Amino acid sequence: QDQLQQKIICPGPVTCLTASPNGLYILAGVAESIYLWEVSNGNLLAILNRHYQDLTCLCFTDDSSHFLSGAKDCLALVWNLYSVLQAEPSQIPDPRHVWSRHSLPITDLCCGFGGPLARAATASLDQTAKLWEISSGELLLSVLFDVGIMAVTLDLSEYHMFCGGMDGSIFQVDLCAWPVQRDRTFQTEQENGKVFKGHRNQVTCLSVSTDGSLLLSGSHDETVRLWDIQSKQCLKTMNHKGPVTNAFIVLAPANMFNPDGKPSVPLPKFSKHLHGTESNDEQGSEGVTLRLGLHQQESGESYLEKAEKMYSQMYSTREKNLVGDQEHLTIQVSELEEEVSTLRKINKNLFDFSARIITKPAK
């Protein structure tokens, strides 16, 4: 039996959860707030309150530089992780983009490859799936279906977008279809060869294999199905004892099947309070304090005060150098003016001598 390695108590019921691809940060949606933790020490770095209703989905870009959030308020927000980490605790940072083209709650998000230049897909109960450009925030494509869309994903090459519907159908949208249209309607009768049929209830999650040949889907009909994308045939069905809420394809770690394989460094206890606002009693004696500069406790100067003092000294030295340089330049200019006047006298004497020789009458 699998043993519970650690239990982390969150501030409330978690509606969505994701980890950054680099493994440094954890995002959780609790009601309408986004909580950001640092994995290495468990510090709560930020609480973002820009949604007006409960969160439904979160996802990171592949380079962990941005993350997206979707909620029941019909909004999808794009956040710059660096801006969030640099913001003061007293102020809520602004998202990079606010996508408000959906008219009903957002149900799923998916990011392609390319970091801040990637494309992102959003799914909604308004029966549409939309494709966006993260860098500019522009809407690239909007596809209208016959049913509400509960899940969306892109294949690795981003040639196709797969959308899971409330009726159990899975739709394959060709992103490179001609002619290019920003607003498109998916007509099931005419595109029968691009629909996966087999689930008897709403599709909750989708995942494509790295080679783009297999599609994994989970549903409220208590099954997970593995599909061949080319033929649209179901290759395998895995039954569960309840509705499937999440399933995805992942490359197995090297020590996954090792019986002794377990994390060498356990996760720390995740904090419930923002980093820097805890009291001394809550912090305990585990922390290590580093002092920059002099080690004496009596030193009243802070690091910023020392930096300002250093800058003032630099500027004063620079001003002295400028004054000295100005005096030196004045001396040089006077010397050059004397040299120019001497050269003018010599030039005048040469001119007079030459003129006398040329105008001298011949004998």
Q: HSE on the CB side for 36, CA within 13 Å?
A: 28
Do 241 and 128 share a domain, yes or no?
A: yes
pLDDT of residue 2: 60
Instruction: Give the least confident one: 191-200, 278-287, 303-312, 319-328.
Output: 278-287
Containing structural domain, residue 27? 14-254
Residues ≥6 apart with Cβ < 8 Å to 228: 213, 214, 215, 235
Do 313 and 249 share a domain, yes or no?
A: no
270 inside domain: no
160 inside domain: yes
The 10s digit of each residue's pLDDT in 37-52 is 998 888 999 999 999 9
pLDDT of residue 351: 87
Do 186 and 326 share a domain, yes or no?
A: no
266 inside domain: no
Distance CA 68, CA 342 (A): 76
Of 213, 232, 254, which one is at a domain's C-terminal end? 254
Top pLDDT among 168 and 285 is at 168
Do 211 and 340 share a domain, yes or no?
A: no
In this predicted structure, the answer to whether residue 294 has a pLDDT above a threshold of 60 is: no
Do 311 and 240 share a domain, yes or no?
A: no
* Omega within 30 of 0 (cis) for the link into 179: yes
Do 233 and 308 share a domain, yes or no?
A: no
Do 227 and 162 share a domain, yes or no?
A: yes
For the chain, how big is the Rg over CA atoms in Å? 34
281 inside domain: no
263 inside domain: no
In 145-289, the DSSP E strands lie at: 149-154, 160-165, 170-174, 183-185, 195-196, 203-208, 214-219, 223-228, 233-239
Mean pLDDT of 324-331: 73
3-class DSSP state of 56: strand
Task: Summarize the chain as % helix, strand, coil (round to 5).
Answer: 20, 30, 50
The 10s digit of each residue's pLDDT in 65-102 is 999 999 999 999 999 999 999 888 778 889 999 999 99
For the chain, what is the domain count?
A: 2
Do 33 and 174 share a domain, yes or no?
A: yes
pLDDT of residue 283: 46
Do 193 and 94 share a domain, yes or no?
A: yes
Do 233 and 321 share a domain, yes or no?
A: no
pLDDT of residue 263: 65
Distance CA 95, CA 77 (A): 6
**Residues in a beta bridge with 171:** 163, 195
The 10s digit of each residue's pLDDT in 148-198 is 999 999 999 999 999 999 999 999 999 987 778 889 999 877 776 799 999
The 10s digit of each residue's pLDDT in 207-247 is 999 999 999 999 999 999 999 999 999 999 999 999 999 99
Distance CA 244, CA 231 (A): 24
Distance CA 124, CA 360 (A): 106
Of 192, 226, 254, which one is at a domain's C-terminal end? 254
CA distances (Å), origin 58, targets 32, 109, 144, 214, 263: 12, 7, 23, 24, 25
Do 244 and 313 share a domain, yes or no?
A: no
Of 214, 234, 254, which one is at a domain's C-terminal end? 254
In this predicted structure, the answer to whether residue 273 has a pLDDT above a threshold of 90 is: no
Distance CA 109, CA 79 (A): 14
9 inside domain: no
43 inside domain: yes
88 inside domain: yes
Do 166 and 245 share a domain, yes or no?
A: yes
> pTM higher than 0.95 for the full model?
no
Report whether 293 contacts 306 (CB < 8 A).
yes
